[in-house]
Amino acid sequence: MLTCYTFGAVPAFAQGLVRDLRVRWAMEEAGLPYDVRLVGEDIEREDYRRTHQPFGQVPAIEEDGFQLFESGAIVLYIAEKSEKLAPRTPEARAKVQQWAFVALNSVEPHLGELVDIDIFSAEEDWAKQRRPAAVKRTEARLDLLAAKLDGRDYATGAEFSVADILLATALKELRHTDLIDRRPVLMAYMERCFARPAYRKALADHMAVFERQPEPA
Ligand SMILES: N[C@@H](CCC(=O)N[C@@H](CS)C(=O)NCC(=O)O)C(=O)O
């Protein structure tokens, strides 16, 4: 049985975004059972950092003594278990890996910069100064991505793959902006991905963890 490590409590802005969602979604698509351990509850955060994830971040997984961290590496590992997540021919798999790297390397860093500016560093002067240029850069990247995805159901073409788990969840990081809503191709792509039953189940289970949190006083 695969165990996914994640946080049991995060600020509201992060709920629905924490990257254990990628692991849950991949496991649901593959139709494989898994369980969850909560960092800070089931395992002390410092113990977790020493034994599972060198930066103390989530997610990490463990399966029969095998440990892995980095959400991209984890979902690609899960894709090894199921053809539903990646085709088996070397060329088709390479295309899936290409799009996984697009998500993690060519898209997510742009969005991460905007999340930092808008959420983590919103009150900093440097963030206010940098925002217009960061938005411009992000918009340019989104436009090129939309042009490439136009006419495709999923990143590699007609078939859903693990790359879509990475790309759609990366794009979701912009949910506090209207940058996706203003791009119909990306909007339709995300709606298509997020309508999948495996995503709905993964999201419900992800959110259920936070629903245990007491209401703030
Ligand atoms: N590149 C890592 C990023 C992991 C990451 O940023 N995790 C966030 C939650 S989604 C986290 O643990 N944040 C707390 C921290 O950085 O201390 C991955 O994809 O697994």
Handedness of CA 172, 175, 181, 182 (dihedral sign): negative
Pocket test for ligand 1, best of 17, 53, 58, 166 (most atoms within 8 A of CB): 58
DSSP state of 215: P
What does the pLDDT read at residue 112? 92
Give residue 61 CA to ligand 1 midpoint distance, Å. Answer: 13
**pLDDT at 217 (0 to 100):** 53
Centre of ligand 1 from the C-alpha of residue 174, in Å: 16
Give the CATH fold of the 90-196 domain.
Answer: Glutathione S-transferase Yfyf (Class Pi); Chain A, domain 2 (1.20.1050)
Ligand 1 center–CA 205 separation, angstroms: 19
Residue 43, phi then psi, degrees to nearest 5: -145, 135
Taking the CA atoms of 42, 47, 48 and 52 in sequence, report the sign of the dihedral they define.
negative
Residue extent(s) of CATH 3.40.30.10 domains in the chain: 2-84+199-211
Tens digits of per-residue pLDDT, 123-145?
A: 999 999 999 999 999 999 999 99
The pLDDT value recorded for residue 213 is 58
Ligand 1 contacts CB of residue 61 (under 6 A): no
Q: Which helix (H) or strand (E) holds 6?
A: strand 2-7
The answer to whether residues 151 and 158 touch, using CB atoms and an 8 Å cutoff, is no
Ligand 1 lined by 58 (C-beta under 6 Å): yes
Give me the pLDDT at residue 215, please. 52
- Token couple for 168: 């759609």
Give residue-wise pLDDT tens across range 155-194.
999 999 999 999 999 999 999 999 999 999 999 999 999 9
Phi, psi angle pair for 191, to nearest 5°: -60, -40
- Which residues neighbour 46 within 8 Å (Cβ) at sequence distance 6 or greater? 56
| Domain boundaries for CATH 1.20.1050.10 within the chain | 90-196
- Rounded distance between C-alpha atoms, residue 130 and residue 125, angstroms: 9
| pLDDT on residue 212 | 80
Low-confidence ranges of the chain (pLDDT < 70): 213-217
Residue 6, both tokens: 């994640």
In this structure, which CATH number among 3.30.70.20, 3.40.30.10, 2.60.40.10, 3.30.420.40 belongs to the domain 2-84+199-211? 3.40.30.10
